[in-house]
Amino acid sequence: MAKHELQPEFDASFHDALKSTPSAFELLVVGAHVRIRLPIGKFVIGRHPKACHMIFHHLTVSRQHCGISISAKGVRVTDLNSSNGTLVNGSQIHAKTPMQIGDTLKFGAVLLKLREASTDAEGELTPKTENVEIEDDMGSTLPGFAVDVLFELDD
């Protein structure tokens, strides 16, 4: 069975960073109902499995689409001269752009929503169910009911 085009894959350095330096942020992949806990560090998102840390196998995603920088203070994103551009909250970005909790990140057909990472008493991710309403580029509300699925990284 083929993987869902919006189901991300990760390289080994992303796995290692997540184990050693998890951040307080996560991304919800809208449409794939997957949460991605973000580690502290700088990562490339795109389609090329050998050139990116977070890989989306969708033709609308460039080989190296955007860069994302995560620190204890926040998240910044940069377009890497992609074919289809990178949008934060529906606006195309042209420089390093800070993101706030609740902001959306769109590149190609991929739509992500930045959130605070959920934790339980032991510090593990806690699955949640929530209503997700995102505005598309035209200002229309995209209704949807997303069930977060804990995306477990292989050891």
The stretch 105-134 carries a mean pLDDT of 66
80 neighbors 54 (Cβ within 8 angstroms)? no
pTM of the model: 0.75
pLDDT tens by residue, 55-94: 999 999 999 999 999 998 899 999 999 999 999 999 999 9
Rounded distance between C-alpha atoms, residue 85 and residue 101, angstroms: 21
Residue 136 reports pLDDT greater than 60: no
Concatenated DSSP letters of 34-48: EEEEEESEEEEEES-
State the number of CA atoms in the 13 A half-sphere of 60 facing the CB.
11
pLDDT at 61: 95
pLDDT at 53: 94
Closest by alpha carbon to 144, among 49, 28, 22? 28
Buried b (16+ CB within 10 A) or exposed e, 123-136: eebeeeeeebebee
